[in-house]
Structure formats: C-alpha cells, structure tokens
Amino acid sequence: MEVMLDEALLTKLRTAQVDITIHVTATMNITPFVARQKVNVLLLDKVGTGLLSENPVLLAAEGHLRWRIPVVLALPGCGRLGQVGAIDVDVQTGEVLADNTLLNDITQHAGQLATSSALQTKS
C-alpha cells in the first residue's frame, strides 16, 4: 500500500498533528556498505566510469525493505556534478533492482549533466 499526500492536502494539514506508524519485520542480510558495493560494481560493469554511489537510505516499499542508493556523476577536473538517479537493493536477498531501462535513464541523465557542465565551464 502506498499513501501519497498532494500539496492541497498538505496545506490543509499545516497545523494538524500527524501520527504515522509503520511496522515492518524483516531480516536485514545486506548492510548499507555491501549495497553500495553492489551498485558500484553494476555501474562500472554496465554503465561506465564517473558514476558513484552515495549513502543509502532505508526505504519501505511494496511490502519490502530496500536500500535506495543515490547515483551521482563525478568527473575529473569537475568534481561531483550531481545526482543522476538511484538504484534500490533488497535488504534481505541483496538483489540489485535495476533493469536496462533504469540504467539507460541514468546514462542519459549523466550525459545531459556532463554536457551542461561542459557548456557552463566554457562560458
């Protein structure tokens, strides 16, 4: 189950007290460090250099716990340019939840960010 709160509802709740309780039971077999390693290996193998994982956040989605690992583009001489996507890793199985569509999106965003950064550098 997912609950989404839109801006109109949040405006009405501005002065309301909200109590949200989520209960999830799971065995966490994969540490955040291992999840980052898995994502870095995938990125290097399937996408290329210049993409790095950052600190994961724990996410409860679709009845499962996942590590969501932000993916950033960092280039020599430019440093960290920004986030270009995120990849999830199942905390129980260690499965990296990234298909070809997600990897292509990350590649495309990285290319756009690199191009815009190069244009700003030349200006």
The string of pLDDT tens digits covering residues 48-81 is 889 999 999 988 877 788 999 999 999 888 888 9
The answer, yes or no, to whether residue 20 has pLDDT greater than 80, is no
91 vs 9, more confident = 91
25 vs 28, more confident = 28
In angstroms and rounded to an integer, the radius of gyration of the C-alpha atoms of the chain is 18
Quick one: pLDDT at residue 3? 46
Q: How confident is the model at residue 121 (pLDDT cuts 50, 70, 90)?
A: low
Helix, strand, or coil (residue 66):
strand
Helix, strand, or coil (residue 64):
strand
Mean pLDDT of the chain: 84
Quick one: pLDDT at residue 101? 96
Separation CA 11–CA 9 (nearest Å): 5
